[in-house]
Amino acid sequence: MGSEIIVGGQRYACAVPVVTWYESGLTFPGLPMRPGADLVVLHHTGGEGDARATHRTLCTRRGDDGKILGLSVQFFVSHQGIVHQYTDALARCVHAGPRGNKRGVGIEVQNRATDVRSERGITREILRETIHGVTTDRATLTAGQLRATLALTETLCRALGIPCVVPMRGPDVLSTLILDGELAGFRGVVGHLHLERAKIDPGLAVLRAIAARPRRGVDGAAE
């Protein structure tokens, strides 16, 4: 286990533990490399499965027609705040619909999201949030997950040369779709909820935590 992520074949220091596919053997072979990624897309897994279980689910999930969907993602953050990297950050993964796959680097955070059942010693709090105009209960991240997600997003933004910012509406994070015209000009961190109306992950709390940190430019320095 190290503390570096791989972006375009180059290693970048990250302030939390990182397990790459070289150590774990968990990867998505044959993905095309894609220069020009300029979005970081945050997800939650919708379950409490670990990195191996999440990888298996992505590889085997089927659509309504019974066909394998061929899903993939670049990163996974465990309960303990360990980052697992499945493939190079610039590999074109399938995780965020047509608006996100082309430009986005995906992070799946291990979180059932909808309740606080204690599993493997993990008990979460519930926050009430309004997303796409619908009020819903969302389960919080663990302290380790929040720390790791913030560190990973900042490292990715620095490596990609994009600002570590989220879409805002006035003083708060945008809580619904980002429109095509705005998305075309946006570079930074988004939630899956910003890209597809059927999605509400990763909830607003982690996006608000990113927005509350000192604004960082493309060089990673606080502005």
Digit-coded pLDDT (tens) for 126-169: 999 999 999 999 899 999 999 999 999 999 999 999 999 999 99
Q: Mean pLDDT of all residues in the chain?
A: 93
Whether residue 219 is predicted with pLDDT greater than 60 in this model: the reply is: no
Is 217 domain-assigned?
no
pLDDT on residue 119: 64
CA distance 128 to 26: 35
pLDDT on residue 221: 57
pLDDT on residue 80: 93
Task: Assign 183 to helix, strand or coil.
Answer: helix
Whether residue 118 is predicted with pLDDT greater than 90 in this model: the reply is: no
What H or E segment, with its residue span, contains residue 218?
none
Is 56 domain-assigned?
yes
Of 192, 205, 190, 42, which Cα lies nearest the Cα of 130?
205
Measured in residues, the chain has a length of: 223
Contact residues for 25 (Cβ-Cβ < 8 A; gap 6+): none
- 85-108 pLDDT, tens digit per residue, is 999 999 999 999 999 999 999 999
The better pLDDT of the pair 124, 160 is held by 160
pLDDT on residue 1: 81
User: CA of 3: how far to CAs of 104, 152, 157, 158, 197, in Å?
Assistant: 22, 10, 16, 15, 35
pTM: 0.94
Please tell me what DSSP assigns to residue 84. E
What H or E segment, with its residue span, contains residue 61?
none
Is 159 domain-assigned?
yes
Q: pLDDT confidence of 222, banded at 50, 70, 90?
A: low
Question: For the stretch 90-119, what's the b/e string if a residue is b when 16 or more beta carbons lie within 10 angstroms of its beta carbon?
Answer: bbbbbbbeebbbebbbbbbbbbbbeeeeee
Is 137 domain-assigned?
no
Percent of the chain residues topping a pLDDT of 90:
80
Is 128 domain-assigned?
no
Whether residue 217 is predicted with pLDDT greater than 60 in this model: the reply is: no
Is 118 domain-assigned?
yes
Whole domain around residue 99: which residue ranges?
2-123+142-212
Q: pLDDT confidence of 123, banded at 50, 70, 90?
A: confident
Is 131 domain-assigned?
no
Is 54 domain-assigned?
yes
CATH number for the domain spanning 190: value is 3.40.80.10
Question: For the stretch 33-72, what's the b/e string if a residue is b when 16 or more beta carbons lie within 10 angstroms of its beta carbon?
Answer: ebeebebbbbbbbeebbbbeebbeebeeeeeeeeeeeeeb
User: CA of 4: how far to CAs of 67, 148, 217, in Å?
Assistant: 35, 12, 21
| Positions of E strands within 143-196 | 168-169, 172-173, 188-191
Indicate the number of domains in the chain. Answer: 1
Please tell me what DSSP assigns to residue 87. S
CA distance 110 to 188: 22
